[in-house]
Amino acid sequence: MALIVDKPAASWYKSEMELKQGDHVRIYVRLGGCGSVHPGLSLGVMQDEPRDIGVEDQVEGIHFFIEQDNMWYLEQKDLHISFDSEKEEIIMEVK
């Protein structure tokens, strides 16, 4: 399992969330939304300090991570986070 954050996505988060070098961004499982892996669940994003990192990717000086207790959501697959510049939106794909 891996977390792969593309550089344009990291830059978008950095700008939108006013992140600075060394900040941490947690990807977590939340109730509701349009998740493609588990019906009724989706992924949320927030600035937070890690407690027990399951997987991490550092891009553009930002540490993106998923806590160990949320790793079940990926079902042994990778999470790819990219940015669609035409639609100006983040795309999260579990594959």
Q: Which amino acid is at 1?
A: M
Identify the H or E element spanning 8.
Answer: helix 7-16
Going through the chain in order, the beta strands assigned E by DSSP cover 3-5, 24-31, 41-47, 53-59, 62-67, 79-84, 89-94
Whole-prediction pTM = 0.92
For the beta carbon of residue 49, count every other beta carbon within 10 angstroms: 9
pLDDT tens profile 24-75 = 999 999 987 666 667 678 899 999 999 999 999 999 999 999 999 999 999 8
pLDDT at res. 32: 76
What CATH number does residue 59 fall under?
Answer: 2.60.300.12
Count how many domains the chain has.
1
- Higher pLDDT, residue 95 or 83: 83
pLDDT tens profile 8-21 = 999 999 999 999 99
The boundaries of the domain holding residue 65 are 3-94
pLDDT at res. 78: 96
Q: Which two tokens stand for residue 19?
A: 């992140």
